[in-house]
A and B are shown apart, each in its own frame.
Chain A
Amino acid sequence: MVSLNQLVAVCLLYVAGLFVVAFLAERAATRGQAGWLLRSPLVYTLSLSIYCTAWTFYGAVGYAARSGLEYVTIYLGPSLVMIGWWWVLRRLVHIGRTQRVTSVADLISSRYGKSNTLAIVVTVMSVIGVTPYIALQLQSVVLSLSIFAAPDVGLITTDIPAFNAPQAAFWVATGLALFTVLFGTRNLNVNDRHPGVVIAVAVEAVVKLFALIAVGVFVVWGLAGGLSETMARLDASDIGTWQVQGGRWVALTMLSAAAFLCLPRMFQVMVVENDDERHLQIAAWAFPLYLMLMSLFVVPIAVVGLDLLPAGSDPDLFVLSLPLSQGQNGLAMLAFLGGFSSATSMVIVATLALSTMVSNHIVMPVWLSVQGEGASQSGDVRHVIILSRRLSILLIIALGFLYYRTSGGGALAAIGTISFGGVAQFLPAMLGGLFWRGATRTGALFGLGTGFALWVFTMLLPSFGQGGALSVATFEQGLFGLGWLRPQALFGIGGLDPTVHAVVWSLSLNTAVFVVVSLFTFPSPIERLQGAQFVTVQDTAGPARSWAASVAGSEDLMIMAQRILGAPEAQAFFQAEARAQGRLGDFPEPTPTFVQALERELAASVGAATAHAMVGQIVGGTSVSVQDLLAVADESAQMLEYSSQLEAKSNELSATAAELRRANEKLTQLSAQKDAFLSQISHELRTPMTSIRSFSEILRDATDMTGPDKTCYASIIHTETIRLTRLLDDLLDLSVLENGQVSLHKRTSALSDVLDLAVTTALAGAARPLRIHRNRADESVQLTTDLDRLAQVFINLVANAQKYCDAPDPALVIAVTQRDDMLEIDFVDNGRGIDAEAQSVIFEKFYRISGVAGVGAGLGLSICREIMTRLGGSIAYVSGRDEGAFRVLVPLQHVTDEMRQEAAIEGAI
Chain B
Amino acid sequence: MSKHVVLVEDELNIAEAIRFLLSQDGWRVETLANGDTAVDVIRKASPDLVLLDVMLPGKSGFEILHELRSDPAFAALPVMMLTARGQARDREMAEKAGVSKFMTKPFSNTEMLNAVRELTAP
Q: A residues engaging B (CB < 8 A)?
A: 679, 682-684, 686-687, 689-695, 697-698, 701, 716, 719-720, 850-851, 853-854
Contacts and interface: CB of A to CB of B under 8 A. Distances in A.
A687 B15 CA distance: 11
A684 B106 CA distance: 11
A687 B11 contact: yes
Nearest to A850: B57
Contact of A682 (B18, B58, B86): B86
Contacts of A687: 11, 14, 84, 105
Contacts of A682: 84-87
Give the secondary structure class of A's interface.
helix
Contacts of B16: 716
A719 B11 CA distance: 13
A842 to B, nearest CB: 16
A694 B108 CA distance: 6
Contact of B106 (A689, A698, A716, A854): A689
Contacts of A851: 10, 33-34, 57
27 contacts: A679-B87, A682-B85, A682-B86, A682-B87, A683-B55, A684-B84, A686-B84, A686-B104, A686-B105, A689-B106, A690-B14, A690-B17, A690-B84, A691-B14, A691-B17, A693-B106, A694-B17, A694-B18, A694-B106, A694-B109, A716-B13, A716-B16, A851-B33, A851-B34, A853-B11, A853-B13, A854-B13
A634 B66 CA distance: 73
A720 B13 contact: yes
A690 B107 contact: yes
Given A687-B11, A687-B84, 7 more contacts: A679-B85, A686-B85, A686-B106, A690-B105, A694-B14, A694-B18, A698-B17
A701 B11 CA distance: 23
A677 to B, nearest CB: 12
Most buried by B among A684, A694, A701, A853: A694
A208 B105 CA distance: 127
A232 to B, nearest CB: 132
B55 A697 contact: no
Give the secondary structure class of B's interface.
loop
Closest A-B pairs by Cβ, 10 of them: A694-B17, A850-B57, A686-B84, A691-B13, A690-B106, A690-B105, A693-B106, A683-B84, A697-B109, A689-B106
Given A686-B86, A698-B17, A691 B11 contact: yes
Nearest to B84: A686
Contacts of A689: 105-106
Contacts of B34: 851
Interface in B11-55: 11-14, 16-18, 20-21, 33-34, 55
Interface residues of B, number: 27
A672 to B, nearest CB: 12
Contacts of A694: 14, 17-18, 21, 106-107, 109, 112
Contacts of A701: 109
A850 B35 CA distance: 11
B63 to A, nearest CB: 15
Contacts of B11: 687, 690-691, 853-854
Contacts, number: 73
Contacts of B33: 851, 853
Contacts of B106: 686, 689-690, 692-694
B15 to A, nearest CB: 9
Contacts of A850: 57-58
A374 to B, nearest CB: 71
Contacts of A697: 108-110
Given A682-B85, A691-B17, A850-B58, A698 B109 contact: yes
Given A689-B106, A694-B18, A701-B109, A853 B84 contact: no
A854 B109 contact: no
Nearest to A678: B87
A690 B21 CA distance: 13
A502 B109 CA distance: 128
B21 to A, nearest CB: 7
B17 A854 contact: no
A854 B109 CA distance: 21
A693 B85 CA distance: 17
A694 B82 CA distance: 14
A853 B31 CA distance: 15
Nearest to A685: B84
Interface string B91-118: 0000000000000111111101000000
A674 to B, nearest CB: 13
Contacts of A695: 13, 17
A695 B112 CA distance: 13
A694 B107 CA distance: 7
Contacts of A683: 55, 84-85
Contacts of B17: 690-691, 694-695, 698
A698 B25 CA distance: 13
B81 to A, nearest CB: 14
Given A686-B106, A689-B105, A690-B106, A854 B12 contact: yes
Nearest to B110: A697
A265 B50 CA distance: 116
A689 B84 CA distance: 10
Nearest to B90: A679
Contacts of A684: 84
A340 B82 CA distance: 127
Nearest to A682: B85
A697 B20 CA distance: 12
A707 B57 CA distance: 34
Contact of A698 (B10, B20, B55): B20
B12 A853 contact: yes
A494 B58 CA distance: 121
A370 B70 CA distance: 96
A165 B109 CA distance: 143
A856 to B, nearest CB: 14
A701 B17 CA distance: 13
B72 to A, nearest CB: 32
A460 to B, nearest CB: 103
Contacts of A679: 85, 87
B107 to A, nearest CB: 7
Contacts of B112: 694
B112 to A, nearest CB: 8
Contacts of B85: 679, 682-683, 686
A684 B58 CA distance: 19
B21 A698 contact: yes
B43 to A, nearest CB: 22
A853 B14 CA distance: 11
Nearest to A695: B17
Contacts of B14: 687, 690-691, 694
Contact of B108 (A693, A719, A720): A693
A720 B12 CA distance: 11
A692 B105 CA distance: 11
Interface in B57-88: 57-58, 84-87
Contacts of A693: 106-108
A850 B57 CA distance: 6
A719 B16 CA distance: 14
Contacts of B57: 850-851
A719 B104 CA distance: 22
A718 to B, nearest CB: 11
Contacts of B105: 686-687, 689-690
Nearest to B17: A694
Most buried by B among A683, A684, A701, A851: A683
Contacts of B21: 694, 698
A689 B11 CA distance: 12
Nearest to B58: A850
A695 to B, nearest CB: 6
A724 B84 CA distance: 14
Contacts of A854: 11-13
B37 to A, nearest CB: 13
A853 B33 CA distance: 10
Contacts of B104: 686
A76 to B, nearest CB: 106
